Structure 1
Amino acid sequence: MTVFLTADHHFGHPGIIRNAGRPFACIDEMDEVLIANWNARIRPDSVVYYLGDFAHKCPPERLQRIWRRLARPKAIHLVLGNHDDAATLALSWTSIERGILRMSANNRRFSLFHYGLRTWPGIRSGAIHAFGHSHNRMPGFRNTLDVGVDAWNFAPAAVEEVIQRAESLPAFDLGEPEDEGGNDAPETAEGSRP
């Protein structure tokens, strides 16, 4: 079984070609490439975590046709994005999450959300935060990265690839002061210790 993470296909959305700088002449070409790339990776034993914005401004009939053409994984979980409308919600998702979805794969913990966060559940214990929404415009850092199709050659990313990329990125500065030893008591509003 292979676990995949992906987001931001924006099926049926003509404006995304210009807005995200996608290299397609028209929406039909884009949708065909996205379908072919999905089908080249997803197998019946795959599990997909979809981090939002499956489609946008896509007529429901067209969206249903696209959905039927996609290779069927064992499970496909949706984490809602800002463009996931009633037509997207009506598709046969295994589950739909409205907030952060926590899961584990390949001995790593993940916090999945449509939006990139500066802090996330498990940040201090090495959990990877995967997100979409930014269309490869927000730089990743160690253990936090965009898994949308714009960042992964218009295809779903296998969790092994996500882990490898997440571990290769520069460290994310949590902005913590260095431990100077001494008193661990909290400071008061005036800056003195009680």
Structure 2
Amino acid sequence: MNYFIADTHFFHADLLGDNDFAPRPFATVAAMNQAMITAWNDRVDDNDVVYHLGDIAMNPGDMPSEEAVLAILSQLAGRIVFIKGNHDYQARFKYLAHHDPGWHGQAKFSFHTVGTIIKDDHTQFIMTHYPLLLGITHQTLNLHGHIHHSSVPIAENLNVGVDAPERALLAHPLPWGAPLAAAEIHELYAAKQQALQQEK
């Protein structure tokens, strides 16, 4: 099964507590990190693939070490496909590739600098870190992150980030930090379409 997430920002102490950008209801970075690890592993099976749409970890002025980031990522179930975010960098990707813990005889991690595309239920998922303006589309969705607690007012743009407001549109709310399943992407698209229609 495929899952999707963005903007985990592991170790990012500035996001703790109440704020307008990316409110995270935790007293410590350790508690925030553990909540995301638990939410991930409660949903994702070791045979699943998770698309991480950028911004793995950061902490301005005191960046987490590559060893610390690897230690977190090694605890996460499944294979992880990374799309580079604005707070990711090639040196980190190279370190993770060099120290890949392995996954069923192959690499656990793979990397894309700009984005990648898969098809699910006759719908293209164009996955990027930054939201795209696709114009008129048919059976094409842009899954993205980057804007945290904000939403693009276009139904085909779905923010899959940890802090995304789209998550509130799900009929059955997920634990904070849980990756979204492909079926939930389709549910979010339909719900966002309806919500935007009602605003007109």
**What TM-score range do you get, normalising by the shorter chain?**
0.7 to 0.9
1:129 aligns with 142
Match of residue 83 from structure 2 = 79
The CA deviation at 1:140 is: 4.9
Take 2:94 and 2:32, find their aligned partners in 1: how far apart are those partners?
Answer: 22
The corresponding residue for 1:190 is none
Shift of 1:88: 4.7
- Which whole-Å CA distance do the structure 2 matches of 1:112 and 1:169 have between them? 18
Q: 1: CA distance between counterparts of 2:13 and 2:23?
A: 12
**Residue 107 (structure 1) shift:** 2.8
- Post-superposition CA distance 1:15-34 (Å, at most 9, x none): 22255111111111100101
Please give the secondary structure, in 1, of the residue aligned with 2:137.
Answer: helix
Q: Does 1:162 align with 2:166?
A: no
Work out whether residues 5 and 156 of structure 1, in 8 Å CA contact, stay in contact via their aligned partners in 2: yes
Match of residue 3 from structure 1: 2
Q: Secondary structure at the match of 2:183?
A: helix
Distance in 1 separating the partners of 2:123 and 2:80: 19
Larger Rg: 1
Secondary structure of 1:38's partner?
helix
Structure 2: runs of 5 or more not aligned = 101-107, 168-175
Structure 2 match to 1:187: none
- Structure 2 letter corresponding to 1:144: N
Structure 1 length normalisation: TM-score? 0.78
Relative distance call for 1:140 and 1:44 in structure 2 (3 A) is farther
**TM-score (norm: length of structure 2):** 0.76
**How big is the alpha-carbon RMSD for the aligned residues of Structure 1 and Structure 2?**
2.1
Q: Which moved more, 1:158-167 or 1:62-71?
A: 62-71
The answer as to whether partners of 2:23 and 2:163 remain within 8 angstroms in 1 is no
| 1:112 correspondence with 2:133 | no
Q: 1:1-194 alignment to 2 at 5 Å?
A: 2-17=1-16, 18=19, 19-56=21-58, 57-71=63-77, 73=78, 75-85=79-89, 86-91=91-96, 92=100, 94-119=109-134, 123-151=136-164, 152=167, 153-170=176-193
Equivalence for 1:185: none
Q: Distance in 2 between matches of 1:35 and 1:3?
A: 17
> Any idea what SS the aligned residue of 2:188 has?
helix
Identity value in percent: 31
Segments of structure 1 that go 5 or more residues without pairing to the other structure are 174-194
In the TM superposition, residue 62 of structure 1 has moved relative to its aligned partner by 1.6
